[in-house]
Amino acid sequence: MKSKRMRRMCFWLLPILCAAVVLVLMKTVFLFGYVPTASMEPTLPSGSYILGFRLYGPLEKGDIIIFTHDGKVLVKRIFALPGENITRADGSFLLVPEGCYYVLGDNSDYSVDSRYWEDPFVKNGDILATLLLPQ
């Protein structure tokens, strides 16, 4: 009788435990997202689903990050790191402040990115994850 009760309990407990582990991982380690525009083509085609990794290390030029900007979650590539100078289209220079990044979309014709924002920098605190998949 005990073994039947134990099997029944395991039948329900195991899926609930697995679901709890998945939820914790989704909230603390991974970030799922969707790319609705062509701004990162050809790397991330419009309509792509992506997986981000929240426990990222030091960021480098060329990394693709998932971040918030003006209340939206965006995906762009890091073009310039803190302390680097950027030459803008009008010939002026822009210094990336400490703790910030300058980002661009891979498809410059269809990307609204650091080039167009009033505050052109992504702050460390606004970065949610780095791109894990697809890559």
**pLDDT tens digits, 67-81:** 999 999 999 999 999
Residue with the larger pLDDT of the pair 27 and 93: 93
Model confidence at 135, pLDDT cuts 50, 70, 90, reads low
Which residues are 33's β-sheet partners?
Answer: 50
Task: Read off the pTM.
Answer: 0.85
Angstrom distances, CA of residue 16 to CA of 10, 23, 86: 10, 11, 51
Exposed/middle/buried for residue 82 (C-beta within 10 Å: 0-12, 13-18, 19+): middle
Q: Which domains does the chain have, with CATH numbers?
A: 30-133 (2.10.109.10)
- In three-state secondary structure terms, 21 is helix
Provide the pLDDT for residue 6.
78
User: Phi/psi at 59 (nearest 5 deg)?
Assistant: -85, 150
Query: Average pLDDT of the chain?
Result: 92
